[in-house]
């Protein structure tokens, strides 16, 4: 693909991501289901709460709360933090939610003020944005959890099939505190080869989540037996 075509492609996906970010709510996933950002953050940083399904191509798949399929991959520098996470929701399997963790060794008190604020990003060379949904102390620093928003299944599949990586830089935020005071390493990268296979497996898992309405229809309550 030529440099010009690559630029057009990146600009197109950047537009999709800006649109997706504008549709974000105050937390990841869906507040209608009553899942606060804190619980989401604890799940992402501990990896312990969902039902493990499988590990494939370095991704861990989980069923969480009987409604969500999460598949996660750690960053290239630490296998226990900085998880890149994609989420599919039951009955909405053609919509993909993207979140990522960024670990910073800084302990500036303004880090907590980032929560529920917008951050400007550069992703694979294109400008976009995200929303900080949680900030948690971790080891000697902090983990910042950022929601990238919702994307159409085909769009995000084609995007990462082309780039085969998620390289993101925080370029600015809404506070007056200097960026390098809050983030010692504002650029992070995840290698994501074979993304179509990885995403397709998550989609298959999502389609297999049982629908309580169907379960109820297939297993009607038994009436009392006559004696």
Q: Which residues on adjacent β-strands are paired with residue 52? A: 62
Q: What is the pLDDT of residue 204?
A: 94
Q: What percent of the chain has pLDDT over 70?
A: 69
Q: The tokens 């780039």 sit on which residue?
A: 163
Confidence at 79, pLDDT banded by 50, 70, 90 = low
Question: Given its phi and psi angles, is residue 53 left (phi above 0), alpha (psi -120 to 50 degrees) or beta?
Answer: alpha
Q: What is the pLDDT of residues 94-110, one digit of tens each?
A: 999 998 989 999 989 99
Q: Which domains does the chain have, with CATH numbers?
A: 3-218 (2.60.40.1880)
As a whole number, the mean pLDDT across the chain is 76
Cα distances (Å, whole numbers) of residue 207 to 57, 86, 97: 20, 16, 16
Q: Is the per-residue pLDDT at 41 higher than 60?
A: no
Rg over CA atoms, the chain: 19
Kindly state the average pLDDT of the residues 184-196: 92
DSSP 8-class letter at 69? E
Confidence at 162, pLDDT banded by 50, 70, 90 = very high
More confident residue, 177 or 5: 177
């Amino acid at each position: 693909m030529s440099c010009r075509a690559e630029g057009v492609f990146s600009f197109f996906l950047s537009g999709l991501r800006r649109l997706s970010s504008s549709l974000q709510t105050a937390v990841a996933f869906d507040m209608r289901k009553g899942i606060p950002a804190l619980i989401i953050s604890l799940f992402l940083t501990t990896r312990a709460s969902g039902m493990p399904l499988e590990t494939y191509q370095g991704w861990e798949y989980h069923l969480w709360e009987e409604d969500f399929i999460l598949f996660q991959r750690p960053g290239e520098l630490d296998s226990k933090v900085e998880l890149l996470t994609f989420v599919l929701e039951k009955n909405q399997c053609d919509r993909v939610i993207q979140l990522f963790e960024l670990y910073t060794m800084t302990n500036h008190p303004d880090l907590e003020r980032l929560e529920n604020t917008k951050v400007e990003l550069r992703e694979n060379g294109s400008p976009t944005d995200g929303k900080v949904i949680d900030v948690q102390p971790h080891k000697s620093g902090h983990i910042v959890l950022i929601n990238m928003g919702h994307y159409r299944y085909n769009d995000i599949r084609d995007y990462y099939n082309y780039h085969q990586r998620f390289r993101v830089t925080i370029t600015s935020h809404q506070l007056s505190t200097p960026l390098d005071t809050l983030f010692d390493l504002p650029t992070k990268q995840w290698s994501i080869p074979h993304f179509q296979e990885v995403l397709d497996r998550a989609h298959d898992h999502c389609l297999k989540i049982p629908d309580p309405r169907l379960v109820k229809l297939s297993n009607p309550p038994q009436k009392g037996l006559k004696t």
